[in-house]
Amino acid sequence: MSVKGRVLVLNGNYEPLNVSTVKRAVTLVYLGKAEIVHRYDGGVLRAERLAIPRPSVIKLRYYIKVKRREIPLTKKNILKRDNYTCQYCGTTEGPMTVDHVIPKKYGGKDTWENLVCACFKCNNKKGDRTPEQAGMKLLRKPRKPHYFLFILNGEKIPDEKWKPYLFMV
C-alpha cells in the first residue's frame, strides 16, 4: 500500500485546518496526536509490528488556536474566487476584469461583496450603472471566501468524505 495521497486534517473542533500527506497523518495518529475520522476504502499501511488504516480525514485530539488568515483583496484573488468566469454572462473566454457591482459613484466600496469578475464586453455594457439599471443579473452573489476553501479552489477533492467538513465553513 502506497503512502502517497492527501489527508484532510481537522482541528479539535472539526474545523478544516490543513491538507497533509498520508505519511505525516499516519505519524500524527501513531504518536497519539490525532485520530482517524475516515479512511480510504480498503487501504491499510503495514509495518513489521503495526497495521494502520490509510487515513482520509484525521482530527487532532486537541484544539489549536489558529490566527484567522485573511485573503488579500486583489484583482487576482477576485478572479480566482470567481473561477475566471464572468459573473454576468458566464463566459470564461478572453481577458477578465473586475467590476464594482454597486459603482463607486453610488457609494460602492472595494470589498469582497461588491467586486466580481467580468468580461470586457459585460463590464462595458454595465458601465457606471448598477446591474438592475443595466438590465443585467449576477450569476451568484459575491461573498468573502473562506481561507481554506480558497486554497483548495479549483482542485479536485481527493475523497468524497471530505465534503461535509469543507462545506460547513
Q: Are residues 84 and 121 in the same domain?
A: yes
What is d(CA 37, CA 145) in angstroms, rounded to the nearest whole number?
26
In a domain, residue 57? The reply is: yes
What's the count of helices (H) and strands (E) in the chain, helices before strands?
6, 6
Which of 67, 90, 111 marks a domain boundary? 67
Residue 31: which pLDDT band, with cuts at 50, 70 and 90?
very high
In a domain, residue 30? The reply is: yes
Q: Are residues 33 and 81 in the same domain?
A: no
Residues 6+ apart with CB under 8 A from 27: none
Of the two residues 42 and 31, the one the predictor is more confident about is 31
pLDDT of residue 27: 92
- The beta strands (E) that lie in 49-163 are given as 50-60, 96-100, 115-119
Residue 154: which pLDDT band, with cuts at 50, 70 and 90?
low
In a domain, residue 140? The reply is: no
Alpha carbon separation from 131 to 16, 31, 114, 121 (Å, rounded)? 35, 56, 12, 14
| Mean residue pLDDT across the chain | 89
In a domain, residue 1? The reply is: no
In a domain, residue 87? The reply is: yes
In a domain, residue 159? The reply is: no
Three-state DSSP at 81 gives: helix
Residue 3: which pLDDT band, with cuts at 50, 70 and 90?
low
pLDDT of residue 168: 58
The CATH number covering residue 80 comes to: 1.10.30.50
- Give me the number of domains the chain comprises: 2
Place of cell 500527506: 21
Q: Which residue range forms the structural domain that includes residue 82?
A: 75-134
Residues 100-136 have pLDDT tens digits of: 999 999 999 999 999 999 999 999 999 999 999 999 9
Helix, strand and coil percent figures for the chain, each rounded to 5: 25, 25, 45
C-alpha cell at 14: 472539526
Residue 73 corresponds to which amino acid?
L
Residue 1 pLDDT exceeds 50: no
What is d(CA 18, CA 80) in angstroms, rounded to the nearest whole number?
20
**Average pLDDT rounded to a whole number, residues 70-91:** 94
In a domain, residue 155? The reply is: no
In a domain, residue 141? The reply is: no
